Structures are given as C-alpha cells and as structure tokens.
Structure 1
Amino acid sequence: MSSEAKTLTKGIQKVSLFEKIKPHAELIAAGLSGVLIIAGWLFDKYGQGVDSIIAYLLAFVIGGFAKAKEGIEATYENKELNVEMLMIFAAIGSAIIGFWTEGAILIFIFALSGALETYTMNKSHKEISSLMELQPEEALLLVNGLEKRVPVSELQVGDHILIKPGERVPSDGMIIKGHTNIDEAAITGESMPVSKSSDEEVFAGTVNLTGAITVQVTKASSDTLFQKIIQLVQSAQSEKSPSQLFIERFEGTYVKIVLLVVLAMFFLPHFLLGWSWHESFYRAMILLVVASPCALVASIMPATLSAISNGARHGILVKGGVHLENLSRLGAIAFDKTGTLTKGKPEVTEIIVMEGLDRESLIWKAASIENQSNHPLAQAIVKYAKQTFKKDLLHPDFLEDVPGWGIKAKIKGEQWKIGKAAFVSQDVDNFADGKARELALQGNTLVFIEINGELSAMIALKDVVREETKLAIDHLKKQGIKTVMLTGDSEKTARAIAAESHVDEFFAECLPETKVDHLKELKTKYQTVAMVGDGINDAPALAIANVGIAMGEGTDVALETADIVLMKNDLPRISEAVRLSQRMNRIIKQNVIFSISVIMLLICSNFFQFIDLPFGVIGHEGSTILVILNSLRLLKS
C-alpha cells in the first residue's frame, strides 16, 4: 500500500472514531471532570496546593465547557439569564472564596445531568431511519405493457405498477388486476394477512405475499399512509414535556432573583447595617454558594438513576427520568392487541369433526395439505398436528391453491376442499348445531373442511390472549388506571378479545392515525396516558402518548420510539413500574422540600451573620449528601 493510501486510511479511521465518540463527548467530559476532582482533593490533602488548583481548574473547564457554552448561547438568543449561568456563577463564586472543591463538584453534577440528557435525545431520533428502511426505494412501472424500474419518488398518481410476490408495496394504490394476500402488519398491526383483489386498496410499506398484482397509484409518495406514520412520530417527539415547560417558564425568574439578592448583598449591608466591605463581599459570596441549586439537582438525578437501575434489574428499561415520573400520574393506559395483549400468532383453539370420522386421520391429512401453503392459518394447523401426533406428514396427489378462498387437493383417493365458509359447497350455519356462529363471536377465524363433497370438519383459530394479560390488566385497574384496547381487528374480534383480557374499553378497526386520534382524546380526558405496543403501526401512538411502552420482542421502530421497554414481554411489569414511579416521586418530593428548607435556613443564617463559611459549606454539602443517601433507597427491590 502506498504512503498516500495509508495516510488516507488513517484519516478515515480517525474520522470514524471521532464520529463514534462525538455523541458521548459530554459524558466523557463529565467523567474526566470527576477524575480531576478526585486528583485535586488528593493533591490538596498531601499539601500540593498548586497542583490541586490546576486539577480543579481543569475540572472546571472540561466539565463545564458544554453547559457554559449552552448557557451563554441561550442567554444571548433569549436575552435572559438561565440556570446554567447561575451554576457557573456559583462555581466561580465558590472558587473566589477559596472553596475549589465545592465549585468543581457543582460543575460535575451539572455536567453529568446535561450529558445524560444529550445522550437520551440522540438515541430518540433513531426510529426515523428505521422506518425509512421499510420504504421501498424503487417500483416496477408499467409503460405500454413493458416493465421499467423507477425510483418511488418519480411515481405519479394514475401510474400502473407491478408488485410481485414477496415485494413491499411502494405506494398507496388500487388493485386493477390480480389477487393476493397482503401482510398489513406494518400499517394495521393485524397478524392475519388480508385477501385483496380488484378495486381494493393497498398501502405503501405492506408486503405482497402470494400473487402478482397490478396497482394504480392513488397518492404521491409524500402523501402515503406510511409517510404519515413517519410524520406523526416526528411531530409527537417535537412536543415538550410539562416538566420542560415548567422549568423554562420559571428558571429565568429564579436566576434573576438570586443574582439581584447577591448584588444587593455587596452594597446594602455596608450602607444600611454598617458592615465592612470585606464582610459584605464575604456574605455575598456565601449567599451565591448556598443559594446555588446543587442540592436541588442532587434531589432529582440520583433518585432518577437509582429508580432506573432498579427497573433495569427487573426487566423494565426506562429511557429517561421524565417518563418514569409520568407513570405515577397515569389516568389511562392503551394497549395494542396483536403481540401485546395477545401472542401475535394464530393458534388452533378448537377442532370439530363430523361424527363417525377418524379425528386423528382427518387432522393429519388436513395438515398434510396445508403444509404446502405458507399462509399463517395453514402453518398454525400444521404446527398443531405436528405437536399432537409426532409423525411425518403425507404428500397430496394433487393440489390447487384458490387465491382468497382456500385450497383443493386429492389425497389417498379423496377430494378435499379446505378454506372459507363460502368455499365449501354446503351451508355451514347448521354444522355442529350452529357452533360456527358461537366460535366466530369469540373472535375465532374459522376454516372448513369438505371431503368428497361433504362438510366434514371445522377448525377454529385465534390469536390467543397471553396468560399474564388478565393479571396485568387487573393490577392496573386496582391502581385506578383506565385500560383501553386499540386494534386494527374487526368489531367482533375486538369485542371478544377485550372481554377475555378484562380491559375496560376497546376501539376496533384502527389505522395508525386513528390510534393517535384516540390517544389524543384519552389525553384530553385523563391528562396523562400511556400506550403499550410492539409494531411499526404503534410507533406514532407510542410517540404521542405521555409514556410509550414497547414490548421487548417488538419491532426496532417501536423499541426506539417508546419511552419504556419491557425486556421480557412481561405485562405485569407495567404495574411494577407504576409503583416504582410512585416511590421515586415520593422520594424526590422529600428531597426537594428538604433541600429548599436547608437553602432557606442557610440564607437566613448568613444574612443574620449566624453562620460562617465553613458551616455554610457543611450545611450545603451535608444537605446534598443526605438527599443522595435518601435517593439510594430506590436501589432496593
């Protein structure tokens, strides 16, 4: 390799390393600041004063650079001082009166808080790129009967496109030729493929499973339902939390009051109370230190981190303290059905065989026929037969797939038809004393079997409710939280699943934007609302909810969009997370009240000259240590 090539390679490696480190720069700076504080303390302990001051100065610069830059820029832009500037003034003030350690610790705590906030913000934007990966980049355009591959962005309304089996639909449109099964899980969340034929609508991002179809484009690429999902996620994430709005509203006032009082302490006591200039300056510096929100910061961050660590040990991954805080105020919680309340895959729930027929032989032959299909219902029947009978399946003598209806086959000299009710030749309503209607009302999908022209059996399949779902819902109800199910399923199926899972209310036939509308209505009624889901279609609802909760086995988009992830798909963990949130908020409230009380006591003692600097520092730092110790109680299970 030439020297130029080696230089170029090294340059690329350096850029790559820099890009990897960049998102974590603030966290690294905070860590270095902490190390330098320890070094400064050790130098001071062993009498190396100059080295100690140098270490503290480096801790100030490295740890405080990012927040100082942010505070100065925000002050310049908004023409108003902020908490960042007050923390910087307090740190400088403590250094001026010789307390370098306190100033450096103040900078370290604030730097760590800012670093964690920046890191969380960077992580929260990844779901947009994950969504974009599911949008096809090219489409097969039909021009005068010829196929031409073009970028999706060039498609026009009215264009005809060919979509082959296994391909994703590139744009919203209407089928004008062909018949197929479409996997619409990316849009509706429904696990069952939907049969589609002429004059029926298809959506971008869904998957064409079985047959080739010709589609007429009905929407521009920027207006598709899939693009709306992306826009909804972006819009929801741009909304600020109530905590953010509260801080932004009052931080300027707090800073102004503290700085004005400190400034007044420079002059008023000298002229009104006869204090010396030295005493006035000394008391003003003490005020700047004790009035700094160091204890207030420590009231929240350690408690939040302890609670998050506790949750992580129990399979509850929380992406930020504000989300855990919101859990304790939940008025309602909405659940997606497929893959959340249910297992997400159809299972055989009941098989009814006509009297006089060999049940085992019939199911075995039916599974042998269905084994030739990749439809989820067919595979569920095959799985049931294999688990039940533990023997090899047969090979049909003849087989014909009838798209949208079922399958015809000949096996061991018998003529078989397996499929929908309308596919078999007899009236199914009277089969097994009307059992079909009863099973359908329970949310089952029914598959009928006809042998040699005679209706012989019926197989009921359903996406069954998880075993732990009822327990989880009941726990949430006891905590006074309203439970709601949002699903893309039909009204009949939704009603059956809602009753079985014990939810208070349900909304059926929901598209992603419909789920968002329901979430907005729930937020208006209950103020703080959570959404639990696992699919791409749930991403906008997860983002718009006050707290988005994703199942650990869900899609990457749902995991990235959500604020909380249940790592083991364990729904009862939600109730545990609510209790953890209540404990955390209770401890934070204790810390805040205590720290404010100490600050007010120190300020009053300083004004009446009852306290000197060493005792002021002990009171200030002591209150910080006490609130941290109180916060660490959250580490206990």
Structure 2
Amino acid sequence: MKKNKAIIFYMLGVITFIGGLLITQPIARAALLVFAAIVAGYQVIAEGIMATIQATRKRRRFSPNIHLLMALAALGAIAIGSFEEAAMLILIFAGAHFLEEYVENKSRKEITALLAMAPQEARRYTDTGALEVVPVTVLNIGDQLQILNGAQVPTDGVIIAGTASLNEAAISGESIPREKQTGDEVFGGTINGKSTFDMRVTKSSDETVFAKIVQMVQSAQDSPTKTASVIQRFEPIYVKAVLAVLPIVLLAGPFLLHWSWATSIYRTIVFLVAVSPCALAASAVPATLSGISSLARQGVLFKGGSYLANLTQLKAIAFDKTGTLTEGVPVVTDSEFVSDVDEATLTQIITAMEMQSNHPLANAIVSHYSKSDVPITDVHNEIGKGLTAEYQGHTYTIGKPQRFKQVDPAFRKRAATLSKQGKTVVFVAVDQRVVGLIALMDQAKSSAKSAINYLKRHDIQPVMITGDAQQTGEAVAADLGIEQVVANVMPEQKVAVVRELQTTMRPVAMVGDGVNDAPALANAEVGIAMGSGTDVAIDVADVVLVENDLSRLALAHQVSTKMNRIVIENLLLSMAVVVMLVVLNVLQLTNIAWGVMFHEGSTLIVILNGLRLLIPQRA
C-alpha cells in the first residue's frame, strides 16, 4: 500500500512536470517544477535519508547512501535556478529506482512463488473412517489422508493404498511424472495424476521437503555473495569520499580551470550525479538472486549467494561413494552356471530361497530374476555365510566363496576376476557341488559419469572417499573416470580427508548423503547434500541436489561461472560510465539531464544483464 502511494505521487509529479514545461510564466513554471520534484521524489529521498540514519546508528559512524547524493544534487540545482533539470533529475532517479525494485522483485518472485504452491488443506480420515477437510498445519505424524485425482499432496508421507502418478516438478524440477505404489514415499507440494490413493503422514508440515526448500531459498535471498557484500560495505565509504571531494571540485573550477563560480557550482552538481554509484550497487544482487532462483526451479538449492559464487572457484570435489556416486543398492551384473544344470529351474529355486531373506543381496537377486512360485518355505540362514534349503531331495546352498572347499578352478578364477572389478560374488551349489556363481555390484549412477566428465574438463579434481576396500573403490572409480580414491575410510576420518585436500587444492567441495558425511560437509568450503540424504546432512550442507542428480552439479557450475562473469561485466560498465561522465563534465560536454539519463540507464542495463540468469541453463 505504501509503495502504491509512492507510485501514485510519482505519476502526479510526472504530470506536474509536463504542466510546468508548458507554462511560460516564470514563477508558476518554477513552482510547478519544484513541486514535481518534491512529489515525485519524496519517497525515494526519504528512504535514503532514513536508511542513512539507521545505518549510522547501527554502525555508530556516518554511513550515507547514494540517495543522499541525489538529494544534494537536486537541492543544488534548485538553488542555482535550474528548476527544470532538478525536476528531471528527481523524476529519472525516482523512476529508475521504482523500475529497479520491480526488476529485482521479478527474480525474488520466481523464488517466493514457491510459497503460493504450498498445500493448504488435506482430506483426513477420522477414527470412524469418515473424511474431513482440515488445514495442513494441524496434521500429525501417523494421520491417514486421501489424495484425490488431480489434487496436491498436502505433506510428506508414504502410500498405504492405491497407486499414484505424481508430478514432482515443485520438488525436483523434473517434469516427467513418477509412478508410485504402496510403500513408496510421496512429497508435499507434488500433484497427483488421475488415480486416488491413501497415504500416511510421516513428517510435520514444517519439516517436509517442500518446507525445507522454501526455508533454504528464503535464506539464500538474505545471504549476498562476497562481491555483493563487499559492494554494500563499499557504498557508504564511496559516498563519504565523494562528499569529501566536493569542496575540492567546487574550488578547482574557479582557481584551476578558470570557470565562473556559477559554472563551477553547476559542474559540481553534475559531478554529484556522475559519481553516484547506483549501477555499482546493483552489479551483484540481481544477478545473484536470479541465479539462485533459476537453479531452485531446476532442483538445485543454495543456502546463500556466496556458495553459488564460490562454486566456480573450486579446485576439487570429494564424493562419498555409496548413494552419492552409486545407486546405493546392489544389482546383479553377472551370472554363470555349468552346462549340465537347468538354469531356468535353478534360478527359480534361487529366487524362492532369496525371497525368504531381507538381505540387500537377496533383494537384488529377487529383483533380477522373474518371480518364482517354487514352494520353498523352510530356508536356513547362517548369518555371514548364506542360505541353505531342501527341495525335492536335493540340498541347495547360496553363499560366499569362502564357504565352499571343493570348487572348480575355473569358478575360483572367474570369481577372483569379478572381485577385482569391485563385485560381490556368491556361489550356488547343489548337494555341495558348486554349479554357478552370481556377481553383484552397487553400480555408478549415469548422472555421476556425466558430472565427473564435466568437472575434469573444467580442471576440478574429483576425489572418491569410501569405507569400502581399496579394490572395490578403485573399480567404481575406474568406471567413473575418477583417478584419486581414498578407501577404507572410517566415518570420522572423512573430515581429515577433506582437510588434507584443502592443504593443496583449496577451495574444496564435499558431496554426501549420510549422517557420517555431515562433519565433512560442514568443513568443506561448499557442502553439497543429496536430496534423498539424511536430515542432518541436508541441514549442514550449503547446497542440496533435490533430485539426487549429480549432473545438476555441472548446471550449477555453469550458472556460477556465468553469474561471476555478469557481475564483472556490470562492475566494469558501471565504473566506465562514472569515468566517462566525470570526464565529459570537466570538458563541459554534458549537463544534469544527460548525466542522469546515462547514469540511470546504465543502472537498468546492469540489472537487466543480471536477470539473464533467469533464463534456464542446460548442463
């Protein structure tokens, strides 16, 4: 409301200014032009004066801003009778100020639009099984909800009945719907497809993935880049320096350049306009907000602009292996059986046995082979050794190679070869005779391969940190193209590895997903957490890859590089305009009006240049 009032008064000032130009009577013309300056610029000037007072009180020293320079320039123009130029100065300055706010708010709106997407209501089952519509804020963990087709999922939870096709663009930036069924996790803020399903709430409304995204983005808005914060600290110093130089400029006219006092006063006012650092102040913030906003819409969340700016400076990135570079679950990669067994029947028996176990390797084998209906229910599980079962008079055993004493040398050799590739090998025996082997491995993510290739092309050293044996770690690293592997690392040792890297390759980033990665994430210059990681890892990280897609690292690096380049362009442009106007002023080739036009025009160019980052980047 306050801002709308200021704009209304500004428009009144514009109309009054036009009226003043059309009147020829000197006193009436001067009165209208002065009135136009006051009405159009009072809000902007008042903001500048109040900001100066507040900053001075906070820092306990005089901390002026650029609005003060403009106010002095306008008052000086009025004092020497340049009413038309004074009014034009204020109109252009105030108009540019309102446009700057509009353009900057455009990038903020890209982010805060997330708030409007937050779900407000939910359909909750009562104790009697009836449905009631309640605010999302009153939901409790354990509540059961119904999600209608086309409806928004109100909070995080798991599906307990039905299936869903969910548009998770609000969470991950991925436009392709995800098919989910009973037991799968769903996220608040996502959109259901054409089916109806029931879910159980697993998180309070302020702890959902969506809520954390909003919190992180809001935090990022308030955290400027190092460049932006330096510029903000530099502004009052710059303004004070200009105020200190003003008497010198004023006196230099008559005594050095042989100007009249009237000319010197006028040129001093033009100097005030020329050196106002509007464009300089706007060089970094819009670009930073635009970069953060663009990446947030594509599933990369930054907790502060400084982390985005630092990304392009990285010399090395350390990666946790399991769940970060790899899928986190083993899959069957190889299987070989002797020729005199019925492989189809044997794999059905193996699957039936593994269905009785909840071991990750068992799950991988069951997932790999077709569903088995072989009636095996009595399976003996020896922890650390394997499974044994009786079926149709034969004993079937699945276990580690060490469990079997008499094995065909060809199988032993093949198992050794597969193990060197970082794979876990199990033997299959019938009546103590080894008749086959199955190899499993936690495979590298395809997104990890593209990310590693990108980093190496840009001279950023990828390093793998893993608790696995050296052989396993090196096998995965070789597949990804990572040359440096630190294996056999205990969780508490990861911090030491990161610090060691920092001694030779600072700045260093760390990418991880677990509680044991949190200390290393906190110690790295940039901590990057996977979206599926633990709450602790996400909380301490500086960046979150919502979709667990490491290729988004390349995207973030591109945006970081472009943002830093844009900031440098803006700084050079803004300073070039200041120098040009000062030189033209000394040569008496410009006036207040042209000075304002050039100056505020450069400010808008700087801001619009920063907003280029709102255009989605492609990795």
TM-score of Structure 1 vs Structure 2, range by shorter chain: 0.5 to 0.7
* Distance change >3 Å, CA 63–CA 608, structure 1 → 2: closer
**In the TM superposition, what are the counterparts of 1:482-497 in structure 2 within 5 Å?**
482-497=461-476
Equivalent residue, structure 2, for 1:303? 287
Q: Which residue of 2 aligns with 1:39?
A: 8
TM-score using structure 1 length: 0.63
Q: What pairs up with 1:384-423 in 2 under 5 angstroms?
A: 384-385=368-369, 389=370, 391-422=371-402
For structure 2, the 5+ residue unaligned runs are: 18-31, 76-85, 115-219
| Rounded Cα–Cα distance in structure 1 between residues aligned with 2:518 and 2:331 | 26
In structure 1, runs of 5+ residues without a counterpart are 1-31, 124-236
The residue type equivalent to 2:12 in the other structure is F
* Secondary structure of 1:462 counterpart: strand
User: 1:583-622 to 2 correspondence within 5 Å?
Assistant: 583-606=562-585, 609-622=588-601
SS at match of 2:16: coil
Q: Against the structure 1 CA distance between its residues 68 and 353, is the aligned structure 2 distance closer, same or farther, given a 3 Å change threshold? A: farther
Aligned to 1:478: 457
Determine helix, strand or coil for the equivalent of 1:531: strand
Amino acid at match of 2:382: V
Please say if 1:357 is aligned against 2:307.
Answer: no
Identical-pair percentage: 38
Partner of 1:454: 433
- Equivalent residue runs for 1:240-279 within 5 Å: 243=227, 253-262=237-246, 264-265=248-249
Any idea what the Cα deviations from partners look like across 1:138-169, whole Å, max 9, x if unmatched?
A: xxxxxxxxxxxxxxxxxxxxxxxxxxxxxxxx
Instruction: Identify the residue that residue 274 of structure 2 maps to in structure 1.
Output: 290
Cα gap change, 1:363 to 1:312, in 2 (>3 Å): same
CA 1:397–1:104: 2 relative to 1, 3 Å: same
Q: Is the 8 A contact 2:228 2:285 kept in 1?
A: no
Paired residues, number? 478
Go from structure 1 to structure 2 and tell me whether the alpha carbon gap of 1:337 and 1:69 turns closer, same or farther (over 3 Å shift): farther
Offset at 1:63?
A: 8.9
Map of 1:485-634 to 2, 5 A cutoff?
Answer: 485-606=464-585, 609-634=588-613
**50-59 or 531-540, which deviates more:** 50-59
Distance 1:308 1:245, change over 3 A: closer
Cα pair 2:224 2:306 within 8 Å, conserved: no
Give yes or no for contact 2:10–2:39 (8 Å, CA) kept in 1: no
CA contact (8 A) 1:495 1:506 kept: yes
Please state how far the C-alpha of 1:521 moved relative to its aligned partner: 3.2
In 1, Cα distance between the equivalents of 2:2 and 2:323?
A: 45
Contact 1:340 1:551 in 2 (8 A): yes
TM-score w.r.t. length of structure 2: 0.65
Structure 1 residue 465: Cα displacement: 1.1
Mapped contact 1:33–1:108 kept (Cα < 8 A): no
Mapping 1:424-463, distance limit 5 Å: 424-426=403-405, 430=409, 432-463=411-442
Deviates more, 1:533-542 or 1:349-358: 533-542
Give secondary structure in 1 for the equivalent of 2:65.
helix
**C-alpha displacement at 1:473, in angstroms?**
1.9
* Rounded Cα–Cα distance in structure 2 between residues aligned with 1:240 and 1:103: 24
SS in structure 1 of the partner of residue 597 of structure 2 = helix
Map of 1:15-34 to 2, 5 A cutoff?
A: none
One-letter amino acid matched to 2:280 = L
Contact 2:330 / 2:441 at 8 angstroms: preserved in 1? yes
1:519 offset after TM fit, Å? Answer: 2.7
Letter in 2 for 1:571: L
SS in 2 for 1:46: helix
Aligned to 2:282, what secondary structure does the other structure show? Answer: helix
2:225–2:304: 8 Å Cα contact kept in structure 1? no
- Map 1:91-490 → 2, pairs under 5 A: 92-93=71-72, 96=75, 99-101=89-91, 102=93, 106=97, 243=227, 253-262=237-246, 264-265=248-249, 284-312=268-296, 315-385=299-369, 389=370, 391-422=371-402, 424-426=403-405, 430=409, 432-490=411-469
| Conservation of the 8 A alpha-carbon contact between 1:352 and 1:432 | no
Q: Give me the whole-angstrom Cα distance separating, in 1, the residues matched to 2:488 and 2:94.
A: 59
Cα deviation, 1:484-521, whole Å, max 9, x if unaligned, reads 21222221211111111101211113345533333333
